[in-house]
């Protein structure tokens, strides 16, 4: 969430950056400032009335001690009248503060200076590519056919049990999933991240803290009776671990990792581009999250990008890194890098990770602060990244490593998988 004093002091800058992010409701900036003006006026009126009540109440005590009961009763009547005047001011102040908050949270995070201009994914900027595209046999199959051929994933069974977008992994398919999860977690832990196993359901405060509410409410599964949300990513519960806490500057950076299933409604997704594992409603993902000192957040972002890049490289997959343009960025992000791996069988790029710096946007919602020496508490900066999302990684491993004698498992996974080949 943006901060009102910053908006007031930098209005033209805020408008320019919001436009860079292709945000259409720029009039909300003026609405926020007008509501803040009204809030200040009402606060002054409330405080002025409260001062009069306090002064009159002190006079009542003095008059009673002096035996001037009639004058004291007059003052009591005046205090009662002042309290009656104060109540509607208080009610309007509370309503204005709520409306200010509700309007403020409609504003997305400002994009950083490094965010390229653009409206669509086609305008994202390629930072670099790595790996090499394999030469597949002429009869190469997409992963959904390989899954059927080797009895790895049953898409029809998932549809029977739950519905479209809920695949059932089985046999060596389930084992490969487990191998990937364990490898990703070990990789992150060996690089200084502390493992957590968070809940898969969160309350509204938690979803609000990372910006899923109200922005992505329609994309989340909601358990109505208990008013809980199934998590779309481990970022949501893990970042909230430190909600409403004041840390020491020596605590930073805090580096956390977690494996969770993720649940996304993906409303409106259909067609050939979402076939198989390309887009599903339930999938597994290992996440990395950092809480860092504001002055070090962009160094941390580059470190996280390098961390994910090395992980993708270890799987020997062809990949590219994109810096997202303003129009393709998430609501809460200040700067995002996407990782895509190349599916040789489908001949297309598939996104497998986003690594983002949210600066103080999420921390302001969650009130995650730190004290730098003896100074006032400051907001931390939050970052997160997929390390990695499994469905498309699994799809590319199957497709890019198929050969006449079966599917070859990347060397780094063989000890986890227990074999070097499927088939």
Any idea where the domains of the chain sit in the sequence?
4-104, 121-422
Q: Per the annotation, does 353 bind a ligand?
A: yes
Structure tokens at 43: 């606060």
pLDDT of residue 62: 78
Across the range 389-401, mean pLDDT stands at 97
Q: Is the pLDDT of residue 74 over 90?
A: no
**How far apart (Å, rounded) are the C-alpha atoms in residues 349 and 320?**
9
3-state per-residue secondary structure call for the chain: CCCHHHHHHCHHHHHHHHHHCCCCCCHHHHHHHHHHHHHHHHHHHHHHHHHHHHHHHHHHHHHHHCCCHHHHHHHHHHHHHHHHHHHHHHHHHHHHHHHHHHHHCCCCCCCCCCCCCCCCHHHCEEEEEECCCCCCCCCCCCHHHHHHHCCCEEHHHHHHHCCCCCCEECHHHHHHHHHHHHHHHHHHHHCCCEEECCCCEECHHHHHHCCCCCCCHHHCCEECCCCEEECCCCHHHHHHHHCCCEEEHHHCCEEEEEEEEEECCCCCCCCHHHCCCCCCCEEEEEEEEEEECHHHHHHHHHHHHHHHHHHHHHCCCCEEEEECCHHHCCCCCCEEEEEEEEECCCCEEEEEEEEEECCCHHHHHHCCEEECCCCCEEECEEEEEEEEEHHHHHHHHHHHCEECCEEECCHHHHHHHCCCEEC
Q: Is the pLDDT of residue 419 over 90?
A: yes
Q: Are 3 and 100 in contact (CB under 8 A)?
A: no
Cβ partners under 8 Å of residue 99, min gap 6: 35
Q: Per the annotation, does 233 bind a ligand?
A: yes
Q: Domain 4-104, what fold?
A: Helix Hairpins (1.10.287)
Q: Which pLDDT band holds residue 68 (cuts at 50, 70, 90)?
A: confident
Q: Is the pLDDT of residue 24 over 90?
A: yes
Structure tokens at 68: 């001037």
Q: Per the annotation, does 352 bind a ligand?
A: yes
Cβ partners under 8 Å of residue 47, min gap 6: none
Q: Which pLDDT band holds residue 338 (cuts at 50, 70, 90)?
A: very high
**How far apart (Å, rounded) are the C-alpha atoms in residues 194 and 113?**
31
Q: Are 300 and 315 in contact (CB under 8 A)?
A: no
Residues recorded for the chain? 423
pLDDT digits (tens, 9 = 90+) for 213-268: 998 888 999 999 999 999 999 999 999 999 999 999 999 999 999 999 999 997 55
**How far apart (Å, rounded) are the C-alpha atoms in residues 201 and 219?**
14
pLDDT digits (tens, 9 = 90+) for 162-187: 999 999 999 999 999 999 999 999 99
pLDDT of residue 16: 98
Q: Per the annotation, does 283 bind a ligand?
A: yes
Q: Which strands sit side by side in the sheet containing 377-379, from one edge to the other?
A: 246-248, 369-371, 377-379
Across the range 316-331, mean pLDDT stands at 98
pLDDT of residue 374: 76
Q: Which pLDDT band holds residue 3 (cuts at 50, 70, 90)?
A: very high
Across the range 109-126, mean pLDDT stands at 98
pLDDT digits (tens, 9 = 90+) for 53-64: 888 888 877 777
Q: Is the pLDDT of residue 32 over 80?
A: yes
Q: Domain 121-422, what fold?
A: BirA Bifunctional Protein; domain 2 (3.30.930)
Burial call 350-369: b when 16+ CB within 10 Å, e when fewer: bebbbbbbbbbbbbbbbebb
Across the range 309-334, mean pLDDT stands at 98
Q: Per the annotation, does 384 bind a ligand?
A: yes
Structure tokens at 294: 């504001």
pLDDT of residue 267: 58
pLDDT digits (tens, 9 = 90+) for 259-309: 999 999 975 555 556 789 999 999 999 999 999 999 999 999 999 999 999
Q: Is the pLDDT of residue 92 over 70?
A: yes
Q: Per the annotation, does 164 bind a ligand?
A: no
Q: Per the annotation, does 339 bind a ligand?
A: no
Q: Per the annotation, does 92 bind a ligand?
A: no
Q: Per the annotation, does 419 bind a ligand?
A: no
Q: Per the annotation, does 264 bind a ligand?
A: yes
Q: Is the pLDDT of residue 381 over 90?
A: yes
Q: Per the annotation, does 265 bind a ligand?
A: yes
As a whole-number percent, the residues of the chain with pLDDT over 90 amount to: 88
């Amino acid at each position: 969430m943006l901060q009102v004093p910053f908006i007031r002091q930098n209005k033209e800058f805020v408008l320019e950056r919001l436009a860079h992010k292709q945000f259409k409701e720029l009039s909300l900036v003026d609405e926020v400032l007008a509501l803040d003006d009204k809030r200040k006026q009402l606060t002054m009126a409330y405080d002025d009335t409260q001062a009069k009540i306090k002064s009159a109440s002190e006079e009542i005590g003095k008059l009673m001690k002096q035996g001037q009961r009639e004058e004291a009763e007059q003052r009591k009547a005046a205090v009662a009248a002042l309290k009656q005047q104060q109540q509607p001011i208080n009610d309007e102040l509370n309503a204005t503060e709520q409306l200010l908050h509700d309007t403020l949270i409609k504003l997305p995070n400002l994009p950083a200076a490094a965010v390229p201009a653009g409206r669509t994914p086609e305008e994202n900027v390629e930072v670099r590519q790595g790996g090499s595209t394999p030469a597949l046999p002429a009869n190469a199959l997409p992963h959904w056919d390989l899954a059927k051929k080797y009895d790895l994933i049953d898409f029809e069974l998932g549809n029977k049990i739950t519905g479209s977008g809920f695949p059932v992994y089985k046999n060596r398919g389930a084992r490969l999933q487990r191998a990937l999860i364990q490898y990703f977690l070990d990789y992150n832990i060996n690089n200084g991240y502390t493992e957590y196993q968070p809940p898969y359901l969160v309350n509204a405060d938690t979803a609000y803290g990372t910006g899923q509410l109200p922005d992505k409410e329609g994309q989340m599964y909601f358990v109505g009776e208990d008013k809980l949300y199934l998590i779309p990513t481990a970022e949501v519960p893990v970042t909230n671990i430190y909600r409403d806490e004041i840390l020491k500057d020596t605590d930073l950076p805090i580096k956390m990792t977690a494996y969770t299933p993720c649940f996304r409604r993906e409303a409106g997704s259909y067609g050939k581009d979402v076939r198989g594992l390309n887009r599903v409603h339930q999938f597994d993902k290992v996440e990395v999250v950092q809480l860092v000192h504001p002055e070090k957040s962009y160094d941390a972002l580059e470190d996280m990008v390098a961390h994910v890049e090395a992980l993708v490289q270890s799987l020997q997959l062809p990949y590219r890194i994109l810096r997202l343009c303003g129009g393709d960025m998430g609501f809460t992000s200040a700067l995002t890098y996407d990782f895509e791996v190349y599916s040789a069988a489908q001949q297309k790029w598939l996104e497998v990770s986003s690594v983002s710096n949210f600066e103080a946007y999420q921390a302001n919602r969650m009130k995650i602060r730190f004290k730098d020496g003896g100074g006032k508490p400051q907001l931390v900066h939050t970052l997160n990244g997929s390390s990695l999302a499994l469905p498309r990684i699994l799809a590319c491993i199957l497709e890019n490593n198929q050969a006449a004698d079966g599917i070859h498992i990347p060397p780094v996974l063989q000890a986890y998988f227990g074999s070097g080949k499927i088939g």
